Structure 1
Amino acid sequence: MPYRRKTWEEKLKDSKTFPKILKLESNFPCYRALKTMGAKPGDSVVIAPPLEVDAVMKQVPLGKLITLKEICGILARKHKTKYCCTLTTGIFITTAANAADETQGDTPYWRTLKNKGELNKKYPGGVERQKSLLEQEGHAFVNRGKRVFVQDYEKQLVDL
């Protein structure tokens, strides 16, 4: 029987092993990122399911923005942990974006930025498509080398 790749939507709905609440260890893939946020070994960390990440992204209204950091904060509070794994959350943000594109879904993924307001080259259509969709909502941009950032993104963050 030939192997069939999962669709993005199937990946999004594959939450059977999540959420996971773990104690942070120095060998975790997200350890360095969490350490810069103040995490220490032994702190509680949630790996939230992809559908929960998608649900947060769906709450961002027109003209507002959210970043990986804010999504992680929301998920950590929901699961009563100190931190949220930024690595898996970033992967699930990309999964939600591609699932929305694949199914013409209602997740406004282009409003979700990388940390520091950077556009995400892994989204459907890459940075150019995300930039175009955000321009239609009135956002301005600044280039830093090859990377593109939303100008003054902090002033446009949603409060969830």
Structure 2
Amino acid sequence: MVKKTYTEKLNNSGDLPKTEFIGFDNSMAKRFGCGNMLIAAPIEYDEVMKRIPKGRIITSNEIRAYLAKKHDADFTCHLTAGIFINLAANASQESQNSESGEITPYWRTLKKGGELNPKYPGGIEHQRMLLEMEGHIVINKGKRYFVKDYERALYELQ
């Protein structure tokens, strides 16, 4: 059996997007909240990430809020969002390595609070280098790294 590439996984949406109602009695309610939870398609995260211009950044929270609003949901699934954002990053690196396809500037998508994502291709050091090349200042707080004053560079999705 041949293993799927990241690009193939990114473009395979299956039955997504879909919404699921999370009620008070659901075991996920404590973790995610109650209401209509969106599970967006992986390609939707990639499409949003491609829109972030050089010198600007976005966090996974802003992307999730944008997609929830787009699909008239109360919130999005945190777990699949993280998985699909990392999938988009790896698919972009895969395209760059094979010199085919459009590159997604994944390094401009940060975790909550402006934190760098250690799961991206090349880890923290690679993301840090790319962000610093675009004029951002990366600071260390304990074992984690953040873009300094990231709020000033946030891209507002329309």
Q: Structure 1 length normalisation: TM-score?
A: 0.90
Q: Residue 9 of structure 1 aligns to a residue in which SS?
A: helix
Residue of 7, 21, 38 corresponding to 1:9: 7
Q: Residue 67 of structure 2 aligns to a residue in which SS?
A: helix
How many percent of aligned residue pairs carry the same amino acid?
51
Q: Residue 3 of structure 2 aligns to a residue in which SS?
A: coil
Residue of 62, 72, 87 corresponding to 1:70: 62
- Residue 5 of structure 1: CA displacement? 1.3
1:44 and 2:36 equivalent?
Answer: yes
Structure 1 stretches of 4+ with a deviation exceeding 4 A read none
Whole-Å separation in 2 of the counterparts to 1:46 and 1:125: 30
Unmatched 5+ stretches in structure 1: none
Count how many residue pairs are aligned between Structure 1 and Structure 2. 150
Alignment-mate amino acid for residue 129 of structure 2: S
- In the TM superposition, 1:86-101 aligns within 5 A as 86-101=78-93
* Aligned twin of 2:18: 20
User: In the TM superposition, what whole-angstrom CA distance separates every residue of 1:73-93 from its partner, at most 9, and x where no partner exists?
Assistant: 110011001101111011000
Could you say what the CA RMSD is over the residues aligned between the two structures, in angstroms?
1.3
Whole-Å separation in 2 of the counterparts to 1:77 and 1:128: 33
User: In the TM superposition, what whole-angstrom CA distance separates every residue of 1:26-69 from its partner, at most 9, and x where no partner exists?
Assistant: 423x852x3xxxx3x3x011000000010000010011001110
Contact 1:24 1:44 in 2 (8 A): yes
- In the TM superposition, 1:1-160 aligns within 5 A as 3-25=1-23, 26-28=26-28, 32=31, 34=32, 39=33, 41=34, 43-104=35-96, 105-160=102-157
Contact 1:24 1:31 in 2 (8 A): no
Whole-Å separation in 1 of the counterparts to 2:44 and 2:124: 24
Q: Structure 2 length normalisation: TM-score?
A: 0.91
Alignment-mate amino acid for residue 117 of structure 1: G
